[in-house]
Chain A
Amino acid sequence: MKQWRFEIFNRPGVSDVHGNGVLDDIRELGITSLEAVQSAKVFLIEADFDNAFAERVAGELLSDPVAEEYYIGRSAAPAGLAQATLIEVHLKSGVTDPVAESVMTAIADMGVAETHVRTARKYVLLGSIRPAEIETIAKRVLANDCIEDVVVGDEAEPPSPHLSPYELDIVHWPIRDLDEAGLEALSAERDLFLDLTEMKTIQAYFRKIDRDPTDIELETLAQTWSEHCVHKTLRSAVDMTMDGQPAQHFDNLLKETVFKATQDLNKDWCISVFADNAGVVEFDEDSAVCFKVETHNHPSALDPYGGAATGIGGVIRDPMGTGMGARPIANTDIFCFGEPDKSLDEIPKGVLHPRRIMKGVVAGVRDYGNRMGIPTVNGAIYFDDRYLGNPLVYCGNVGLMDKDKAFKHPQSGNLVVVVGGRTGRDGIHGATFSSGEMTHEHETVFSHAVQIGNAITEKKTLDVLLQANEAGLYEAITDCGAGGLSSAVGEMGAELGAEVDLEHVPLKYTGLSYTEIWISEAQERMVIAVKPENWEAIKHIFDNENVEATVIGRFTNDKKLRLHYEGQQVGELDMDFLHDGVPKYSRQATWTQPKLNEPAPAAKDSYNDELLGILSSYNVASKEWVIRQYDHEVQGGSVIKPLTGVANDGPSDAAVVQPKLTSSRGLAISCGMNPLYGDIDPYWMALAGIDEAIRNLICVGGRVDRIALLDNFCWGKCTDPETFGTLVRAAQACYDGAMAYEAPFISGKDSLNNEFACEDGATIRIPATLLISAMSLVDDIDRCVTMDAKQAGNLLFVVGRTKNELGGSHYYKLQGHLGATVPTVDLEMAPRIARCVSEAIAQGLVASCHDCSEGGLAVALAEMGFAGGLGIEADLHGLPVSKDCTNVDAQLFSESNSRYVVEVEPGKYDAFARMMLNLPFGQIGKVTGDSRLVIRDTDGRNVVDADLDALKQAWQKPLDW
């Protein structure tokens, strides 16, 4: 076939948005000698069409007649005085190229069916530049080594797309005679991440059955037993030592803390918890909602865009694979990065700059979430330099399903069917990779662990699966996540047994071995169990919308997993050994209360500067730049958007969505997290997270009696007893918090070993980071409340006691202190306050409500004021405080939990006050018509007196990119 090359440039006069963006990024690297960057799209098409048809393809399909012009063949560097450098970025062989697939379909629509298409990007850098700088630009701005190849100049040819076919070669790994060193070496060489005990358990199994394992058997065990899949650390037995004294023993940490609260509470509205891909709770008479939050940290560190995109893509498949499948209705995302203003020489080798990571991660979530048509409604971003080597990317998804379809029923004889995307070499070893520590060499060693997403494939798959579900044509469904088919088929067939013919799995390209097929984590694939008599009907639904579905095996009844390739058995494992054979661990955990000092900042007359400083700190500052890039309104169910207030730019406490457009019942979704408190005591950090997530729900009108929680632990290496001790402390708090609020955990996940080994031997360990996500019902969305001050003359109250708890506060952080007095939670009082505030909102007594969190009361008042475009006059005289909370700075900036600022119309004062009667509450001021925030101390002096417009600008500026 003939090779065609098409290059598409912007017409002169049409702004080259992409090229300009690249130029900005290059200048951010400190390379300022370039005058301009031109970008072009390149299409390499193998086809048997003539020149006339090629002109049509270029003019009608590949280029825009108004904005672009095309060039058939290879264009030379533009004439002119400026030095021009040509750089092309090509996808590596085998990497998914969705644009190419669309172009092939479109050329077929034009009448030529047989084509092969590849795409690339071309950049013309205008201006003088040194070769070393070209390399930096290619690596840091233009391309990602993991998935792309860079070609500089106009001579070199792109990599060949053609791969040689695979010929069966069954590989055995002799294990039976290995000594301990040999076992450990095998695990390390093959990136199995199995420790010695596990390797010995596997050795014993194969000695018993008297043969050596094949590679696919060991790989299957390695990924099924990976930390990522089985959470062996959190399920291990623990002896906890506190302050040097033996304190507590757990047989199974998770079961005796997080799970136990759920069991002890035993809520009848919990339908399926900790059992499926997401936790399922009742929504209304007919429907249920499920919620899952996952992390995708290591992939996002290597390839921020792809890692985050597949993070959100992966978590969306969790509700899709929960019960008989849910329809995704909302996304959440919470990120932790290093501070974005670091200079390049402060960045360790092997690490991307936090600003590049953040931009890439946001773009990845944006492009995948928006394409899926799922609103991203809630999130947070947290900055701390300990996330430099290990950024955290939490992605969540909420789904809606029929209540009577919350469970699966796979049966012997069902067909194993893979639906959706094809299998490629992407994502190999993702599950095991994510279970290990990162090093400065990860970039090269683990490039294959990066997965490549294609949201449209997932959307198409979702569309047809919902139809098949409604028609009742399958018996079970699950997603291909970490561990790929191995995990999906292995889990679905755990109680049955399964046999799979691996050569039937549709591939993106030839050359994959049977093991690669089995453990690939290629995206957008779901596995369903189908009765043979339903196969034709369900296939018809999939064919109708061009979604590929293939029978790859069947479920059996002998509890064995059998894997075949071209008629030969390549692996056989007992399901019981696979799922229950992982050795049980016994671990030590220690916790010693750190000896910390409380700073004593001198009292000041004015705290304007401190307030400004906190508002413009990265953690508190407006995240509007991120939020607006997400479609938060698609599906039409948005009730409380992430930004609110008179100018649509105030920070909402929680999101509310209307899952069914025909019902006024809503769902409130929120999160809570504060890693700084964990540096003092992770127990209180966890409780603060729970309290914050719940406060946020209450503030918008969420019901207090239907709160469901999710936990996501991101920690360092838990083989270190001290690190593990902090996790045990946090897990204990999860139990206490859930019990106090009667809010069960319904799902959770952990990501351990988040440490980065620098080239110089130093280790950067992330702070203990527990994300609490929460959701609750809203009975009537028309009664929801937002945080913006509504009306001059309205009264302002604080409900909840302000204590002398500046430890871990942003006030201290700004001054370089940590402090010791971490915010605590009064487990008896906190739920009472939440209940009363919730009741007041339900009765329509509340005009606005905002929780006090980072930055304390002063920040909460400022946000309410500028979001409402109004002023606030407050008097600390009315503030309910603990006896030791006498200093003005503590009253303004203490981050004590369980506090709400509530705005009430004067006419509703009596009814509101009656409801708060036995709680710590007080009137602290009123809303005014001017745009000033004035706060007086108990002696009547103005300790804050600031223009709210200036405060708002300070709050908006840092992340207004």
Chain B
Amino acid sequence: MSDVQALVLRAAGINCDRETAYALELAGAKADRVHVNRLIENKALLDQYHIVVFPGGFSYGDDVAAGKILANQVVHHLAEPLRKFIDDGKLVLGICNGFQVLVKMGILPGNGDFRQEDVTITYNDSGKYEDRWVHLLPQTNRCVFLEPERQIYVPIAHGEGKIVAKDAETLQRLQCEGYVAYKYVDANGQEGPFPINPNGSAESIAGLTDSTGRVLGLMPHPERFVRRTQHPHWSRLGEDLDPDGIKLFRNAVRYVQENLLPVCPA
């Protein structure tokens, strides 16, 4: 019955596509998992969708650098249709490896506003891959995926999640102009060192949005907290525990319903 259509991109090494599609469906969208080769063959395929998700995984083994090869592929084959997709007012979400792809393509923090050489994502300060839960505090009121002020608790699982800006000025602009979507904080909303900031990211940045607020990329995995039993100590918490991750997907679906779908005749 849902009219909200979501595309979850597959490629060699992408491995969070199933649970991401499940989270979207749970939030009320209809989700298709589509291989990047099909999109390159038929670029018009994108027109059928309202939301495109670049899910987590190790696209092409993260060879050269995380997300680099897939970013290169999309830049050379799908840049225009993807630009048009965003310009049409539709939504793009990149999670973990998907976020790395969006940054390495220059989609985030946004071509036009920034150059691709301004921001990157690189190795964790710890030098190793880590799976742990983190608190995220929203930093912008422009991004349609998130609820300003509302802190969420979700897991990270990555080895290359440290956001680095070219210089202090770029970093300053990202923060002042609302490009920072989420920061890593502690349970009380305070920034801090490892493990509060799990990868040494500049200014504790966990996620970025663009100037439209309709593109979001984040290192943590909201699709991994859509059921209460996914919480790392749910057995200590009540049955009414409300999963934080699902809200991101619900907000996206609601945005599409309210802004992109024709209003049904009463």
Contacts and interface: CB of A to CB of B under 8 A. Distances in A.
Interface in A735-756: none
A105 B116 CA distance: 22
Nearest to B73: A109
Interface in B176-220: none
Contacts of A661: 18-19, 22, 227
A600 B200 CA distance: 52
A366 B63 contact: no
A65 B116 contact: yes
B233 A646 contact: yes
A20 interface: yes
Contact of A106 (B37, B72, B122, B127): B72
B125 A17 contact: yes
Contact of A373 (B16, B128, B228, B236): B16
A644 B230 contact: no
Contacts of A103: 63-64, 69
Given A456-B60, A631-B131, A636-B223, A17 B233 contact: no
Interface string B85-121: 0000000000000000000000000000000111110
Contacts of B157: 370, 631, 633-634
Interface string A86-105: 00000000000011011101
B77 to A, nearest CB: 7
A14 B19 contact: no
A587 B124 CA distance: 55
Contacts of A67: 120, 122, 164
Contacts of B165: 66
Nearest to A701: B235
B230 A632 contact: no
Given A67-B122, A786-B235, A456 B221 contact: no
A62 B65 CA distance: 8
Dominant SS among interface residues on chain B: mixed
A456 B13 contact: yes
Contact of B35 (A544, A633, A644): A544
Given A17-B125, A372-B15, A454-B61, A109 B166 contact: no
B224 interface: yes
A61 B73 CA distance: 10
Given A66-B165, A648-B233, A106 B12 contact: no
A569 to B, nearest CB: 38
B124 to A, nearest CB: 7
Nearest to A455: B61
Interface stretch (A122-130, A196-204, A560-568, A777-785): A777-785
A634 B16 contact: yes
Contacts of A109: 72-73, 76-77
Given A99-B64, A373-B16, A784-B235, A636 B123 contact: no
Contacts of B116: 65
A636 B230 contact: yes
B84 to A, nearest CB: 20
A636 B19 contact: yes
Interface in A59-75: 60-62, 64-67
B155 interface: yes
B133 interface: yes
Which interface residue of A546, A631, A637 has the most chain B CB atoms within 10 A?
A: A631
Contacts of B65: 64
Nearest to A373: B15
Contacts of A101: 63
A546 B69 CA distance: 15
Given A544-B35, A644-B235, A459 B122 contact: no
Given A109-B77, A628-B131, A629-B130, A99 B124 contact: no
Contacts of B128: 629
Given A65-B116, A109-B72, A648-B232, A636 B60 contact: no
A636 B72 CA distance: 28
Contacts of A41: 64
A805 interface: no
B61 A99 contact: yes
Contacts of A781: 229
B37 to A, nearest CB: 6
A708 interface: no
Contacts of A15: 123, 125
A640 B233 CA distance: 8
A722 interface: no
A66 B119 contact: yes
A455 B60 CA distance: 10
26 contacts: A14-B122, A15-B125, A17-B123, A17-B127, A66-B122, A67-B120, A99-B61, A102-B60, A106-B73, A110-B72, A371-B15, A373-B16, A456-B58, A544-B35, A629-B128, A633-B131, A633-B221, A634-B15, A644-B233, A644-B235, A645-B233, A646-B236, A648-B232, A658-B229, A786-B236, A790-B236
Interface of A: 14-15, 17-18, 20-21, 41, 60-62, 64-67, 98-99, 101-103, 105-106, 109-111, 366, 370-373, 454-456, 459-460, 463, 544-546, 627-641, 643-646, 648, 658, 661-662, 781-782, 784-786, 788, 790, 848, 868
Interface of B: 10, 12-13, 15-16, 18-19, 22-23, 35, 37-38, 56-58, 60-61, 63-65, 68-69, 72-73, 76-77, 116-120, 122-125, 127-133, 155, 157, 164-166, 221, 223-224, 226-230, 232-233, 235-236, 239
Given A98-B63, A110-B72, A786-B236, 9 more contacts: A14-B122, A62-B64, A99-B64, A105-B60, A106-B72, A373-B16, A544-B35, A641-B232, A648-B132
